[in-house]
């Protein structure tokens, strides 16, 4: 995926910035309400982030790095939240983030991991 790479990475960076903002803001949106819904939100967010970046980074070694970076981001986010005084530090959130990364990795190993390439072929025919 070469022609969409820059756009894909910029949109991914904006998404990560949004995750940082939502994770560190005093009153984040609460779109789903049921017991432990935030764990589902954590897992889904990190799953989709992994799937997103797996479109650009197709090689196993690259995906390992992306996965480790996202897990580190999730762990770091919890420590940052714990330092705010208005958000809480939770090991369960770290686990949900890491689980999401693993699910995203698994999903990227299917045809879903080739969506970016398919889009590029469709819209940028050579």
What is the structure's pLDDT at 93?
Answer: 96
Domain spans, the chain = 5-22+36-123
Band (126; pLDDT cuts 50, 70, 90): low
Q: Write 102-109 long-range contacts (CB < 8 A, 24+).
A: 102/67, 103/43, 103/47, 103/50, 104/46, 104/47, 104/48, 104/49, 104/50, 104/51, 104/54, 104/67, 105/50, 105/54, 105/63, 105/67, 107/47, 107/50, 107/51, 108/50, 108/51, 108/54, 108/55, 108/63
pTM: 0.90
Q: Give the percent of the chain with pLDDT over 70.
A: 98
Of the candidates 34, 37, 47, 112, which has an alpha carbon nearest to the alpha carbon of residue 74? Answer: 47
Instruction: Give pLDDT tens digits for 58-69.
Output: 999 999 999 999
What is the structure's pLDDT at 117?
Answer: 85
């Amino acid at each position: 995926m070469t022609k969409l790479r820059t756009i894909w990475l910029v949109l991914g960076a904006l998404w990560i910035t949004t995750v940082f903002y939502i994770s560190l803001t005093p009153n984040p949106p609460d779109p789903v309400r049921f017991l432990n819904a935030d764990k589902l939100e954590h897992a889904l967010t990190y799953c989709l982030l992994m799937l997103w970046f797996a479109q650009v980074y197709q090689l196993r070694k690259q995906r390992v790095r992306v996965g480790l970076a996202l897990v580190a981001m999730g762990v770091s986010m919890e420590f940052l939240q714990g330092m705010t005084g208005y958000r809480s530090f939770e090991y369960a959130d770290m686990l949900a983030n890491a689980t999401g990364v693993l699910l995203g990795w698994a999903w990227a190993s299917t045809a879903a991991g080739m969506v970016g390439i398919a889009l590029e072929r469709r819209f940028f025919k050579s």
